Structure 1
């Protein structure tokens, strides 16, 4: 019995030894595996510094008058303008000085900055009480905002303009329409108006300057009866038109200068500072009874549908 027990113990010891040996062996393999496994080292990426290139500075563009754009050399402080709209509408100083931003004026009176001109555009529309034609035309005001202060030939007056008629329509026959670009207009004093029983101060224009078929034509007034009394000559119907004079040089759409010089009993008109016509006679002497004012612009002489004209003024000056 004892021998059997001893024998069984031996067998169990052998089994224990075998199991222990296997466990040790497995642990050894596990450790070897952990030791031999290669270490994974994370890759470090070094970003290169990118040098930023500064954007080039953009210089602010400077727009220079006389280089990039041009403005007319015209002082409107002593002018009002009549338009071919309304009844008709008028704009006086000082409002006229803001013509470039005045929405009512802009279609008819505006700057052309490409050539430094003040453009007067008109087409048939509204007209004044003593005319059937429309105009975009300046009227001199010696006292801004007032029509009451004017000048006589004895006091004298001079107007000089640089201008052109670049666009004007033609009639059914293919002939150009004509437009009036300058005037000296007469005016009755209040006393004269009352003396002859008129209801306004209107008197005839002593001088009218037309652009006609590419040339400059001058018209003045003459007395129908040179022996008429001082009171009789105050009536508009005492005066008629002369035959007129057309300067021989063709202007076309080119820029030209025109000068008007009025003095006691004398009137002179000058084209391009070279051609001159003088009126010095009984009619000019008699005219000295009237007050006067200058006009300049675009007074289109037609009622044709679709007619229009542009007159450009580059310079305009008046002295007394």
Structure 2
């Protein structure tokens, strides 16, 4: 056997496959990893809490992630306090995780197509087939896509957050977790509802900005309405002297007057502006104090009218 046949021939083809291709693939991998790292770092910094700048008097700027700086907050810090800051942080982290996943997927697709192009594979059919496959997946997983898109817009618009009391249709209660596909709600009976975001047609949030405590007061038809109204207002104002109750209230009690008249009673309505999620405790406290005041001032409560039959001998 000729010795020259065993020698390695350094041709252009060998140079291409042994030097140029590995170097270009390594360069693409390095660029993808560096770009992914930089973009993830930028997203993490945008989703983290920012300190209040010197000379800034806006309290809402405290601990507000830069990612949410240009997005609307429906629960101001001045009303919701620490819970609002936690809600903002969770909202920013969720949006940041979506952006990081999107960046990773885009960089992975770019890297795969670049490597295929380096090794000489025609990537045009792959791009065309990817569009067809994506369309087929979109039709097959349209509910999943709808849940995901709805969850993203829900986070961007800050429709509700953890700790809010919401009405999502059949599920009414306190939000325990908010995800891109599923929202969990704990109702008053302790049942945990798993609600797909794409199935939420409307949201009633009872915990944003402020709430209104509505107190319905039934009194007898023979009662002095004007006196019953004044006694109720005085009782409510006395109850608000309690610091614990006053901390939950944002306004003064307002007597709206007679709300309903029936053959057995008439109903007075009183409202008062409260902090979020405090309307129910304020209602219960005011009802107790007003009932006590009615009893002390001789305001008659309604008695159901009807006939009484005696059962006995003829």
Give the TM bin, normalised by the shorter chain. Answer: under 0.3
Question: Which structure features the higher share of strand residues?
Answer: 1
Question: Which has more radius of gyration?
Answer: 1
Question: Which structure features the higher share of helix residues?
Answer: 2
TM-score under structure 1 length normalisation: 0.19
Larger relative contact order (CA 8 Å, sep ≥ 6) = 1
